[in-house]
Amino acid sequence: MLRLIKRAEISKGIRIKVIISAIMVALLLSGIFIAALGYNPFSVFAYILKGAFGSSYRIRQTIIKAIPLLITAIGISVAFKMQFWNIGGEGQILMGAFGAALVGLFVKGLPKPILFMVMCLSAMIIAGLYALISGALKVYFNANETIVTLMFNYIALKFITFLQYGPWRDKKAMNFPKIASFPKNAILPKVFNIHIGWIIAIIVVIIFYLFMKKSKMGYEISVLGESHNTARYAGININKTILKAVFISGMLCGLTGFIQASAVSQTLSIEVAGGVGYTAIIIAWLSNLNAPIAMIVAFLFAGLLEGGAYIQTAFGISSSASSIIQALILFCVLGSDFFLKYKITIRSKEVA
């Protein structure tokens, strides 16, 4: 009796209605789950907002969490725009952090601004080259990029683990398996009591928006995402475009690695990425690969993470229950994408 019909065009009105409906359903399901645990849903939701935006300190912490999510989401969006499914953001962040540490720990005597530039370039180039391996395997051997980029996350993780427990292990750390902290001149400064990464993130948003809208390569990536045949007919070098875009995607993820290693962890460790590479995929998808919208989504998602951590302390809710609440909200919002693409109609019975 039910029939799915693909929407020919999605108006802004329909999009807003579907998203609002998804949020309402998410809140309803989360409220039922919270009530089943024996808590007042309204109090818990209020404390989630309080934990994320309840004070200037909490807002700063939310922004700090949003910075890597936003930059990585934009990096992933570059590849996603041409339907190259880069699931390797986590590994590329780690390799970017490695590139930053390579300079920050072992290069001495450079003025602070130049040191930051060299650390940033090292992080972005190494991460870009790391991502480029997956692109080359796709282009020349038709390897499945989803599987390859995912597997490369584990290679990067084991590589950093090897350094942390092996050749880069800090001899002054009382036999504790850690890498030495960055010197003070290799730690990013703060602006308004938040590390300068928030300014870098805004610059990345602006550049990505202009890159996709105004540049020739941005146009080529968009056409390639629509159809390989159309791109070929337009005279676009498909293999070259894929390799360039994947390299840029990896570079932006590497930029996240530089910021997290220098400003947050202040060293290189396996915790630098912290799941950002996977979470950024959700943000890229929710924002429809749009940079300005990604900024809003990343900030709200960071607020959800910060608020989820706060209710664990305020109510004694376990981390698993907090994760379920976050998952319910995400599931509903992501599921709304289906209703943006299709509408359900009731098929009338044919009269004999």
What confidence score (pLDDT) does residue 349 get? 57
List of residues 6+ apart from 299 with CB closer than 8 A: 62, 63, 66, 70
pLDDT above 70 (res 288): yes
CA–CA distance, 105 with 86 (Å, rounded to integer): 30
What confidence score (pLDDT) does residue 350 get? 53
What confidence score (pLDDT) does residue 1 get? 66
Which 8-state DSSP code applies to residue 260? I
Closest by Cα among 336, 338, 342 to 22? 336
The pLDDT tens digits of the residues spanning 247-275 come to 999 999 999 999 999 999 999 999 999 99
pLDDT above 80 (res 39): yes
What confidence score (pLDDT) does residue 335 get? 83
Strand partners, 3: 345
What confidence score (pLDDT) does residue 351 get? 45
Q: What is the mean pLDDT of residues 79-102?
A: 96
The pLDDT tens digits of the residues spanning 228-245 come to 888 888 899 999 999 999
pLDDT above 60 (res 38): yes
DSSP 265-298: ISS--TTSSTTHHHHHHHHHHHTTT-HHHHHHHH
List of residues 6+ apart from 19 with CB closer than 8 A: 333, 336
| pLDDT, the chain, mean | 91
Contact 29/332 with Cβ under 8 angstroms? yes
How crowded is the C-beta side of 309, counted as CA atoms within 13 Å?
A: 11
**CATH 3.30.1360 fits domain 67-312:** no
CA–CA distance, 89 with 327 (Å, rounded to integer): 20
Closest by Cα among 343, 348, 346 to 6? 343
Provide, rounded to the nearest whole percent, the portion of the chain with pLDDT above 90. 72
What confidence score (pLDDT) does residue 33 get? 92
List of residues 6+ apart from 95 with CB closer than 8 A: 126, 127, 130, 156, 159, 254, 257
List of residues 6+ apart from 129 with CB closer than 8 A: 247, 250
Kindly give the residue spans of alpha helices, DSSP state H, lying in the chain. Answer: 12-36, 41-53, 56-80, 89-106, 112-141, 145-165, 197-214, 216-226, 228-233, 238-259, 276-286, 291-315, 319-341
Residue 352 amino acid letter:
A
pLDDT above 50 (res 78): yes
| Length reported for the chain | 352
Is 190 strand, coil or helix? strand
How crowded is the C-beta side of 111, counted as CA atoms within 13 Å?
A: 2
The pLDDT tens digits of the residues spanning 151-201 come to 999 999 999 999 999 999 998 888 888 999 999 999 999 999 999 999 999
Residue 170 amino acid letter:
D
Identify the weakest region by mean pLDDT among 2-16, 214-228, 244-258: 2-16
Residue recorded with tokens 């693909």: 6
The pLDDT tens digits of the residues spanning 199-215 come to 999 999 999 999 999 99
CA–CA distance, 19 with 25 (Å, rounded to integer): 10
What confidence score (pLDDT) does residue 32 get? 94
Domain ranges of the chain: 67-312
What confidence score (pLDDT) does residue 342 get? 77
**Angle, vertex CA 65, rays to CA 190 and CA 205, nearest 5:** 80
Element of type H or E holding 9: none
What confidence score (pLDDT) does residue 14 get? 77
224's tokens: 């390639």
